[in-house]
Amino acid sequence: MIIQNIEIIEGKFIKESKNRFLCEVLIDGQVEECYVSNTSKIGKYINLSNKTVLLSKNKGIKGRTRFSLFAVKYYCKFILLNFNKVNELLAYYFKEIEMKGSNVYTVEQEKIFNGYKADLIIREKGLNEKIIEAKAILDIKHSSTFPKVHSERAINQLIKINSLLSNGHSIEYFLVSLSPIVRQIIIDRTYKEYYKLLNECIERGLIIKGVSVDFRSGNNITFNELKIVIT
């Protein structure tokens, strides 16, 4: 699985750097610069200051940093912090949960389908392909909201998804919580254009689902179904 054969150590988070891809972590009494894979500041979503964090050892010897930020401990649970792993996590979810028992299928990641860049495409023998769009959620509350910010990219994606749905394609929209603390996700009506487009897509057959990722000791990952609330 995606976190097998990864060397993980523990540290104490100090702060995010001005460079959005870097942070400072206390490791064995020494302050060390570590890599952050996300394109946006994690502090926008959750507070990491003085929290216990897990770090993965970077491969190779030429990089600027030795470790990458991997997870943070909250309420005795670990929250994954790498948004770039969402597609891999969801591919694993399909293998272990959705498609378990089906032997003849493929899961393709980040492929172009009719001009649309799909996060996943599920191809099963005898059936039409299924397009999967994944959205990462980072929160420490039982009830989270989505979206958190206005996103032109998310709006443009829904416009393209609407077009694909109108042409008869099967699409599922996954909200993936990297935190096992989250139990439900409420679609925020505040973002009116997004909300309107999402509902139009649902009327055309879009299926919206939610799962949370639970990272446990021994590098094991399990998934829990989330309740999606659209008012």
pLDDT at 217: 61
Question: Is the same domain home to 59 and 168?
Answer: no
Question: Is the same domain home to 205 and 108?
Answer: yes
Pairs from 46-50 (Cβ < 8 Å, separation ≥ 24): 46/72, 46/74, 46/79, 46/138, 46/139, 46/140, 48/13, 48/16, 48/23, 48/72, 49/13, 49/14, 49/15, 50/12, 50/13, 50/14
Question: Is the same domain home to 105 and 216?
Answer: yes
Handedness of CA 147, 153, 159, 161 (dihedral sign): negative
Q: How many Å apart are CA 191 and CA 106, to the nearest integer?
A: 35
Q: What is the pLDDT of residues 147-192, one digit of tens each?
A: 999 999 999 999 999 999 999 999 999 999 999 999 999 999 999 9
What's the token pair of residue 54? 């897990």
3 assigned to some structural domain: no
Question: Is the same domain home to 69 and 97?
Answer: no
Could you write out the DSSP letters of every residue in 8-44? Answer: EEEEEEEEE-SSTTEEEEEETTEEEEEE---SS-GGG
2 assigned to some structural domain: no
Task: Tell me: pLDDT of 104 over 70.
Answer: no
Question: Is the same domain home to 174 and 101?
Answer: yes
pLDDT at 39: 75
Question: Is the same domain home to 57 and 92?
Answer: no
What residues are paired with 33 via a beta bridge?
Answer: 24
1 assigned to some structural domain: no
Indicate the residue among 22, 40, 74 that finishes a domain: 74
How many separate domains does the chain show?
2
Indicate the residue among 44, 74, 104 that finishes a domain: 74
- Greatest C-alpha distance within the chain: 59
3-state SS class at 200: helix
pLDDT band at residue 205, thresholds of 50, 70 and 90? very high
Here the CATH number for the domain that contains residue 64 is 2.40.50.580
pTM for the full predicted model: 0.90
Q: What is the pLDDT of residues 4-48, one digit of tens each?
A: 567 889 999 999 998 889 999 999 999 999 999 887 789 889 999
Range of the domain at 35: 8-74
Question: Is the same domain home to 59 and 88?
Answer: no
Indicate the residue among 74, 96, 111 that finishes a domain: 74
Question: Is the same domain home to 102 and 154?
Answer: yes
Could you write out the DSSP letters of every residue in 65-125? Answer: -SEEEEEEEETTEEEE--GGGHHHHHHHHIIIIITTT--SEEEEEEEEETTEEEEEEEEET
136 assigned to some structural domain: yes
Task: Tell me: pLDDT of 126 over 90.
Answer: no
Question: Is the same domain home to 192 and 96?
Answer: yes
